[in-house]
Amino acid sequence: MRDVLTAMIKAHEIQGVLALENSFNRVGLDHVVLVKVASTAVVVELLGLTRDEIVNAVSQAWVDGQSLRTYRHAPNTGSRKSWAAGDATARAVRLALISANRRDGLSVGAHRARAGASTTCCSRASRSSSSAPTARYVMENVLFKISFPAEFHSQTAVECAMTICTRW
């Protein structure tokens, strides 16, 4: 269980640091790309893969088709918003297993690939070099959400609405 919890913390750190340095929303991509990349990184570690297999798996996560943010905004909001991170994590496990079985390897890692038509919007992220310490920076600076299923910036409004509704 310690390994699972440690892996969860590592994935959260990787995802958080990449999110701090990149704005995927600005180019229309959903942030679950970071869930997939971070989860892939920790799964390959749990599987004990070699350096080449790790580079391949994480590269596969970067070049794998990324979700658009379209489903997070009206009128397209639906149940996918709730299961997107779980789906990205499952995909991460699959990509790690593909690399573990030495199938479909990339001859050049995503971090060294030339930006083409399909990678232009992700090229900055895939070449990211973090200035933030990844050991525990994100965990120690996380902004905890209140008990409402809404993004952080709307928490105060939701809390006020719930308070008003319960008083009537």
Helix, strand or coil for residue 10?
helix
- List the Cα angle 113/117/123 in 5-degree steps: 45
Write down the domain spans for the chain: 2-131, 136-168
Cβ within 8 Å of residue 154, ≥6 positions away: none
110: confidence class by pLDDT, cuts 50, 70, 90: low
Mean pLDDT of 94-106: 82
pLDDT of the residue at 82:
82
Highest mean pLDDT of the ranges 33-37, 82-86, 135-139, 151-155: 33-37
What architecture (CATH level 2) is domain 2-131?
Answer: Orthogonal Bundle (1.10)
- pLDDT tens by residue, 6-61: 999 999 899 988 988 888 888 889 989 999 999 999 999 999 999 989 999 999 99
Overall residue count recorded for the chain in this entry = 168
Phi, psi of 78, deg, nearest 5: -155, -160
62: confidence class by pLDDT, cuts 50, 70, 90: very high
Of 131, 111, 106, 132, the closest CA to residue 123 belongs to: 111
Q: Are 81 and 72 in contact (CB under 8 A)?
A: yes
Mean pLDDT of 79-98: 91
pLDDT of the residue at 57:
93
Mean pLDDT of the chain: 80
pLDDT at 130 over 70: no
pLDDT at 63 over 80: yes
108: confidence class by pLDDT, cuts 50, 70, 90: low
Of 23, 24, 110, 120, the closest CA to residue 61 belongs to: 110
Greater model confidence, 155 or 108 = 155
pLDDT at 118 over 50: no
Q: Are 141 and 85 in contact (CB under 8 A)?
A: no
161/92 Cα distance (integer angstroms): 38
